[in-house]
């Protein structure tokens, strides 16, 4: 990771359009924080559902529409599309994923469906985020990089502290919530551990002295296909939520 992280983020923001990058991150997060701190359950539900709809819809669009279209283009043409498309997705998709996942966990806790939120949040950070960060470290050969180590310690170590400190409140939720947590964990590992690093690798290749269009196109197509997998998993969560709403648990 010889390129400055700050320089990489700034460069991707410039390619994405700074206004778009800032809006894609700040608007969902502001709505999420506002709903958690000052809003009602209904308002938090709205933020959670809208973020999930956008996240799922974009993933399915990439897999069902964009992927087949790009599959019929020459490698150079695919690379040209991804050079414009990737920077925007790098800011938008992780923010929507974060808002959807953590909004759903907070919402489930407020509805009494996820007892011991702090403990479960800590477990999620250790397992899901830990594996995602391990995947990032593997792809960028960063296990000895102080920046990666610091991020790993903050997220995984902080999660472990939260889990241990709140272990007394830890309790098992119903099976549907456990299924949803399992699916969300897979989505987190796939999104933050594979898709997001892929987008960073494409950006670094785009800005290199001799961009490898084959590599850019290859990673872009892989990410488009994996977005389809994400979409299927997200639809599975929708099915679980419908069961919770109208099945045995109810709201």
pLDDT tens-digit map of 79-137: 777 777 878 888 898 899 999 999 999 999 998 899 999 999 999 999 999 999 999 99
Contact 73, 11 (CB under 8 A): no
pTM, two decimals, is: 0.84
**Alpha-helix runs per DSSP H in the chain:** 5-16, 18-38, 41-61, 67-71, 75-110, 117-124, 130-140, 146-152, 158-165, 175-190, 196-206, 213-246
Structure tokens at 128: 């899901």
Q: How would residue 7 be classed by pLDDT, with cut points 50, 70 and 90?
A: low
Q: What is the mean pLDDT of residues 3-31?
A: 78
Give the model's pLDDT for residue 184.
Answer: 93
Q: How would residue 6 be classed by pLDDT, with cut points 50, 70 and 90?
A: low
Give the model's pLDDT for residue 230.
Answer: 87
Give the model's pLDDT for residue 2.
Answer: 46
Q: How would residue 209 be classed by pLDDT, with cut points 50, 70 and 90?
A: confident
Give the model's pLDDT for residue 197.
Answer: 87
Average pLDDT of the chain? Answer: 86
Distance CA 174, CA 88 (A): 37
**Is pLDDT at 50 greater than 90 in this prediction?**
yes
Q: How would residue 247 be classed by pLDDT, with cut points 50, 70 and 90?
A: low
Q: How would residue 249 be classed by pLDDT, with cut points 50, 70 and 90?
A: low
Contacts 24+ apart (CB under 8 A), 163-166: 163/119, 163/122, 163/123, 163/126, 164/122, 165/118, 165/122, 166/116, 166/118, 166/119, 166/122
pLDDT tens-digit map of 151-200: 999 999 999 999 999 999 999 998 999 999 999 999 999 989 998 888 88
**DSSP 8-state secondary structure symbol assigned to residue 208:** S
Give the model's pLDDT for residue 1.
Answer: 42
172, 174, 171, 183: which is closest to 251 by C-alpha?
174
How far separated are the first and last CA of the chain, in Å rounded? 47
Distance CA 150, CA 137 (A): 12
Region for residue 128 given its phi and psi (left: phi exceeds 0; alpha: psi -120 to 50; beta: otherwise): alpha
């Amino acid at each position: 990771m010889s390129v400055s992280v700050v320089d990489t983020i700034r460069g991707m923001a410039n390619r994405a359009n700074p206004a778009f990058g800032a809006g894609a991150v700040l608007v969902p997060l502001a709505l999420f924080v506002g709903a958690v701190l000052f809003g009602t359950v209904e308002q938090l539900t709205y933020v959670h559902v809208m973020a999930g709809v956008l996240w799922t819809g974009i993933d399915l669009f990439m897999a069902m529409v964009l992927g087949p279209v790009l599959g019929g283009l020459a490698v150079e043409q695919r690379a040209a599309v991804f050079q414009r498309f990737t920077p925007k997705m790098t800011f938008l998709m992780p923010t929507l994923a974060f808002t959807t996942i953590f909004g759903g966990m907070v919402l489930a806790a407020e509805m009494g469906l996820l007892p011991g939120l702090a403990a479960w949040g800590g477990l999620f950070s250790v397992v899901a985020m830990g594996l995602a960060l391990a995947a990032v470290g593997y792809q960028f050969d960063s296990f000895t990089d102080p920046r990666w180590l610091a991020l790993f310690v903050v997220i995984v170590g902080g999660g472990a502290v939260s889990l241990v400190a709140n272990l007394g409140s830890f309790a098992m939720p119903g099976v549907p919530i456990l299924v949803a947590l399992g699916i969300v964990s897979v989505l987190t590992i796939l999104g933050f551990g594979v898709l997001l690093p892929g987008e960073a690798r494409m950006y670094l290749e785009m800005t290199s002295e001799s961009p490898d269009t084959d590599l850019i196109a290859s990673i872009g197509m892989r990410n488009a296909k994996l977005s389809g997998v994400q979409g299927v998993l997200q639809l599975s969560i929708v099915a679980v939520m419908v069961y919770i709403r109208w099945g045995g648990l109810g709201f």
